[in-house]
Amino acid sequence: MTTALYEIETSEADDGTMIPAEGIWTPEGKDAADNGFVVHRGLYVAGIEAHNDDSPNPVAFVLLGRHRWADVIEGAAAYMDRVYGWRNLHLYPGDDPSALTPRIPRAVHTFGVFLKHPHPDHPCGCEWEDTWRVVWAPSSEPGAIPITAMRHPAAPVTAAGVPDPDQGAPAAWAP
């Protein structure tokens, strides 16, 4: 987690002007569901991958808005069930069931900015076309929205990069 401002990536157009490679996106309604969010009892939940990992499994879950820890666990389990057909949050699909992780990490209330690649006005046709990422940000950052986040129990603590209130991150533990 960094408190530095995020930067929207840019690229140079043929005429030398800089164009945004990503645009700020607010996931909501059908657009959120069309972009990987699962709707469970009114909660919008998505799994996010590690930035430097080729694993197809989520290292963390994000839910739009503020939610109780128990609701985050239920939403994350629903996401794993719908996307992977696997209801157990302690494992990744295909893991050895004897290697259960005994605890589910705590959820945090924080803020983030969703960036969608490419910028809607400048399609690029690259492999990242129409993908999104979340950048943790202070609540005062333009485009920042409230998020509840939790690391996947099977993911290494450092893989998810979920803000940690005990380390001074702009976040609070979810009740």
Task: State pLDDT tens for residues 51-79.
Answer: 766 678 899 999 999 999 999 999 999 99
- Interval 79-103 mean pLDDT: 81
Q: Is the pLDDT of residue 4 over 50?
A: no
Tell me, yes or no, whether 5 lies in a domain. Answer: no
Please give the tally of structural domains in the chain.
Answer: 1
Q: Are 106 and 69 in contact (CB under 8 A)?
A: yes
- Residue 85 CA to residue 65 CA, distance in Å, equals 25
* Residue 2 to residues 22, 42, 105, 146, Cα–Cα distance (Å): 20, 30, 21, 17
Q: What is the mean pLDDT of the chain?
A: 85
More confident residue, 123 or 163: 163
pLDDT score of 62: 95
**CB 174, CB 69: distance < 8 Å:** yes
Per-residue pLDDT averaged across 92-98, rounded?
80
Q: What are the C-alpha distances in Å from 58 to residues 1, 27, 159? A: 18, 18, 10
The answer, yes or no, to whether residue 135 has pLDDT greater than 50, is yes
In a domain? residue 156: yes
Task: Using pLDDT thresholds of 50, 70 and 90, give the confidence band for residue 2.
Answer: very low
Q: What is the pLDDT of residue 158?
A: 80
Provide φ and ψ at 80, rounded to 5°: -60, -40
CB atoms within 10 A of CB 49: 17
Pair 32, 64: CB distance under 8 Å: yes
Residue 109 lies in domain: 11-173
Q: Catalogue the E-assigned strands of the chain.
A: 10-12, 18-20, 23-25, 38-40, 43-48, 60-64, 108-117, 131-136, 145-151, 172-173
Higher-confidence residue of 114 and 53: namely 114
Count CA within 13 A, CB hemisphere, residue 132.
23
- What percentage of the chain has pLDDT greater than the value 90? 41
Over 70: is that where the pLDDT of 37 sits? yes
Residue 105 covered by a domain: yes
Q: Is the pLDDT of residue 154 over 90?
A: no
Has residue 112 been placed in a domain?
A: yes
Contact (CB, 8 A) for 167 and 111: no
Distance CA 32, CA 25 (A): 10
